[in-house]
Amino acid sequence: MAGGLTRFVYCASQISAMVLLIAVLAALPVTAQNSSVQTAARKNSTKDVSRDSSKPKLVVILVVDQMRGDYVDKFQQQWTGGLKRLVDEGAWFHEAAYPYGSTETCVGHSTISTGAFPASHGMIGNEWWDREQNKEVTCTADPSVKNIAYEGSAAPGGGDPTGSAHGVMSNNGPNSAGDSAVKMLIPAFAEELKFQSGAGTRVVAMSLKARAAITLAGHQADSVTWWDGATGLWQTSSAYPQAPFIAEFVKLHPIKEDYGKTWAPLLPESAYLYDKTAVNPGSPTGYGAEFPHPLRGGPDSKGPDRAFYLQWATSPYAETYLAHMAENVVDKLKLGSGPGTDFLSVSFSSVDYVGHSFGPRSWEVQDELARLDRDLGEFFTHLDKTVGLGKYVVAFSSDHGVAPVPEDLRKTGVDAGRLNVEEVRNRIEQTLEPLHYTKPSVSKIDGANVYFTPDTYAKLKSDAHALQAVIDAIQSAPGVARVYQAEEVDDRPATRNPMRDAEAAGFFKSRSGDLLIVPKPYWIWDYSAPGKPGRNGGTSHGTPYFYDQRVPVILMGVGIRRGKYYGPATPGDIAPTLATLCGITLATHEGRTLAEALEGSQSKPGPASSQTRSTSDANASSDR
């Protein structure tokens, strides 16, 4: 009897408490209740889902090509959409940076996707000199496959309206190889996820650039899509399945619909941080040095032409198109609704084209990011509705940063300029000519890499006088800081020189040069013929300095502990962290799991990799 009475009193007290709670809630304004519930749902969604499921239903990797890490610090006050949500709700690794010097698109995307550095994954640049074929090859060129345009016509290779990052090579010839990940020597996270999770996992990747979409997807995927800037056609290759949902989307939404539009500033004039007119721009034909920028092709254009396609790629219209394509793929495949964990990657290329043209201190870069913020806001809202809030995880980063326009920086008194590659080549040839070396002695200079003709470097290594004369000749060229021999960085020797460490992390013996050139800070690569007018516009990247190495790394979604983290991190940490969340094992990786940002982890920031030191002061460092 006493036990029954006790239970009765306990139940009665519970009922009284519930009645009181209902009365209090009823007294609140309805809007306040709804707002509180929505806020609580957003804040607690990750925590709730992580209790119900140990794995995300969808993994999303977003890469913004050429997004400097300090863009977040500079521009976030103008963001109200997806970029703002990443900063507010994500785990932001503020000091993240690449540890190597070959800061280019193919290299960065391969590092993000594999968790390894170029010395391991083998993708040392957008292009390199193939010693066996005695020619330059792109990082995704594969003669065993053919590219296939979704409109049904034969498609050229490459997918980059500007040609190579160096502006001197195009893979748009009729006999060009197709594209695949055959040269990437380590499986991507996405293909490991698919292989280890079983048939229920779908892998989809897309970008304007072949080298971005392909390296994020890896060797096998359900859909890999990129764009050819010469023809305006979306394409894939025979290495991957053709996707009917992509074919349908591009047919319903032809790019030519953007012909005749004008890119005008989105923000109030007072919101822009820099001068309206960019300093010494290298803008596409028809654009001019300041807003507005019409998308109307060349001077004699009567419709979409190659000039229009470059204008389109160098505008926010291309980013919006990709975001809508990604939303369509989520709907058509019902990504995040299957039995496994699905994968979607989108690499947005237009910030890179805009940055090359106008530089980081421009209205155009700031405006491009403001518009991307809106696109990503809509994209995340779409994922919330279709996949479910708290059921997906997003990894956000960039493949490299960018240097200021040298002429802009020189106004402040800083030494900055353009390191002319052809001038360096001429100095080498002139040095070796009186020493009776075969002419030409240089096969190619591609960024930092100097490739000698067959047997020339072997002869130089046994001729100390000639080799030192060549090194001295290179170092006498304007803008050169240091020259390394391949043997000095092979096998990644432990040193106390961050510059040498950075070169070693990006060195792959059979693909890298015989000599490696390190430019001075704020000197960028210039591939034009010496003395030719019009070569000194815009800016570039591809050096071991922090402005090229530092990029955002932000994780958001299920299993992620939001916050701002100042410990060491690299984009190579993304794949290991996603692998931990998804319960899979990578073949190898040099990044680490960012355990401090994982829900339920008690870990503190891990130790810095031996390769993560900044090289900004490397000129003053000595080899030890």
pLDDT, tens digit, 9 for 90 and up, residues 47-84:
433 333 579 999 999 999 999 999 999 999 999 999 99
| Rounded Cα distance, 71 and 64, in Å | 11
The answer to whether residue 222 sits within a structural domain is yes
Give the pLDDT confidence of 281-301 residue by residue, as tens digits.
999 999 989 999 999 999 999
DSSP 295: -
Q: Are residues 257 and 296 in the same domain?
A: yes
The answer to whether residue 292 sits within a structural domain is yes
Query: Residue 349 corresponds to which tokens in the numbers above?
Result: 């290329």
Q: Are residues 389 and 369 in the same domain?
A: yes
| Rounded Cα distance, 101 and 552, in Å | 17
| Rounded Cα distance, 22 and 394, in Å | 37
The answer to whether residue 619 sits within a structural domain is no
549, amino acid identity = Q
Helix (H) or strand (E) holding 417: strand 417-420
Assign residue 420 the CATH number of its domain: 3.30.1360.150
Provide, rounded to the nearest whole percent, the portion of the chain with pLDDT above 90: 79
| Rounded Cα distance, 616 and 452, in Å | 29
* Span of 327-331, 425-429, 593-597, 613-617 with lowest mean pLDDT: 613-617
What pLDDT shows up at residue 162? 55
Q: Are residues 303 and 264 in the same domain?
A: yes
- CA dihedral angle for residue 47, residue 51, residue 53, residue 58, rounded to 10 degrees: 0
| Rounded Cα distance, 327 and 356, in Å | 28
Q: Are residues 239 and 388 in the same domain?
A: yes
Q: Are residues 40 and 154 in the same domain?
A: no
The answer to whether residue 543 sits within a structural domain is no
Q: Are residues 312 and 346 in the same domain?
A: yes
Q: Could you give the residue ranges of the DSSP H alpha helices within 243-362?
A: 244-252, 306-313, 316-333, 350-358
- The partner residues of 484 in beta bridges, in order of sequence, read 516
Q: Are residues 162 and 27 in the same domain?
A: no
Structural domain containing residue 10: 2-50
Q: Among 456, 447, 432, which residue's Cα sits nearest to residue 516?
A: 447
- The partner residues of 445 in beta bridges, in order of sequence, read 450
What pLDDT shows up at residue 85? 98
Q: Does residue 622 surpass a pLDDT of 60?
A: no
What pLDDT shows up at residue 176? 66
The answer to whether residue 262 sits within a structural domain is yes
The answer to whether the bond into 292 is cis (omega within 30° of 0) is yes
Q: Taking the alpha carbons of 572, 577, 582, 585 in that order, is the dihedral positive or negative? A: positive
Sorted by sequence, the CB contacts under 8 Å of residue 336 that are 6+ apart come out as 57, 58, 330, 342, 383, 386, 387, 388, 391, 392
Q: Does residue 241 surpass a pLDDT of 80?
A: yes
The answer to whether residue 573 sits within a structural domain is yes
Q: Does residue 33 surpass a pLDDT of 50?
A: no
Q: Could you give the residue ranges of the DSSP H alpha helices within 115-263?
A: 118-121, 189-197, 210-217, 244-252
Q: Does residue 17 surpass a pLDDT of 80?
A: no
User: In the sheet that 442-446 helps form, which strands lie side by side, from edge to edge?
Assistant: 442-446, 449-452, 515-519, 480-485
The answer to whether residue 387 sits within a structural domain is yes
| Rounded Cα distance, 499 and 182, in Å | 30
Mean pLDDT along residues 385-400: 97
Query: Residue 260 corresponds to which tokens in the numbers above?
Result: 């005749």
CB-neighbour burial class of residue 153 (10 A; exposed 0-12, middle 13-18, buried 19+): exposed
What pLDDT shows up at residue 494? 78
- The partner residues of 141 in beta bridges, in order of sequence, read 179
Do the Cβ atoms of 556 and 570 come closer than 8 Å?
Answer: no
Mean pLDDT along residues 234-242: 97
Provide, rounded to the nearest whole percent, the portion of the chain with pLDDT above 70: 83
Do the Cβ atoms of 280 and 536 come closer than 8 Å?
Answer: yes
Q: Are residues 95 and 62 in the same domain?
A: yes
The answer to whether residue 141 sits within a structural domain is yes
Do the Cβ atoms of 376 and 91 come closer than 8 Å?
Answer: no
Give the pLDDT confidence of 89-147 residue by residue, as tens digits.
999 999 999 999 999 999 999 999 999 999 999 999 999 999 999 999 999 999 999 99
Q: Are residues 146 and 37 in the same domain?
A: no
Q: Does residue 327 surpass a pLDDT of 80?
A: yes
Q: Does residue 45 surpass a pLDDT of 50?
A: no
Q: Are residues 441 and 499 in the same domain?
A: yes
| Rounded Cα distance, 62 and 344, in Å | 9
Give the pLDDT confidence of 150-207 residue by residue, as tens digits.
984 344 554 565 544 433 333 333 346 899 999 999 999 999 999 999 878 999 999 9
DSSP 194-226: HHHH-TT--EEEEESSHHHHHHHH-S--SEEEE
Mean pLDDT along residues 377-399: 97
Mean pLDDT along residues 344-362: 98
| Rounded Cα distance, 345 and 204, in Å | 6
Give 25's pLDDT tier (boundaries 50, 70, 90). Answer: very low
What pLDDT shows up at residue 36? 38
345, amino acid identity = S
What pLDDT shows up at residue 519? 98
Q: Are residues 445 and 569 in the same domain?
A: no
Do the Cβ atoms of 216 and 112 come closer than 8 Å?
Answer: yes
193, amino acid identity = L
Q: Are residues 318 and 283 in the same domain?
A: yes
Mean pLDDT of the chain: 87
The answer to whether the bond into 265 is cis (omega within 30° of 0) is no
The CA-based angle 235-206-561, given to 5 degrees, is 175
H and E: helices and strands count for the chain: 21, 22
Give the pLDDT confidence of 535-593 residue by residue, as tens digits.
579 999 999 999 999 999 999 999 999 999 999 999 999 999 999 999 999 998 899 99
Domain count, the chain: 3
Higher pLDDT, 139 or 43: 139
Q: Does residue 38 surpass a pLDDT of 80?
A: no
Please give the C-alpha separations between residue 316 and each of 121, 307, 326, in angstroms, as whole numbers.
32, 16, 16
- CA dihedral angle for residue 131, residue 133, residue 137, residue 142, rounded to 10 degrees: -130
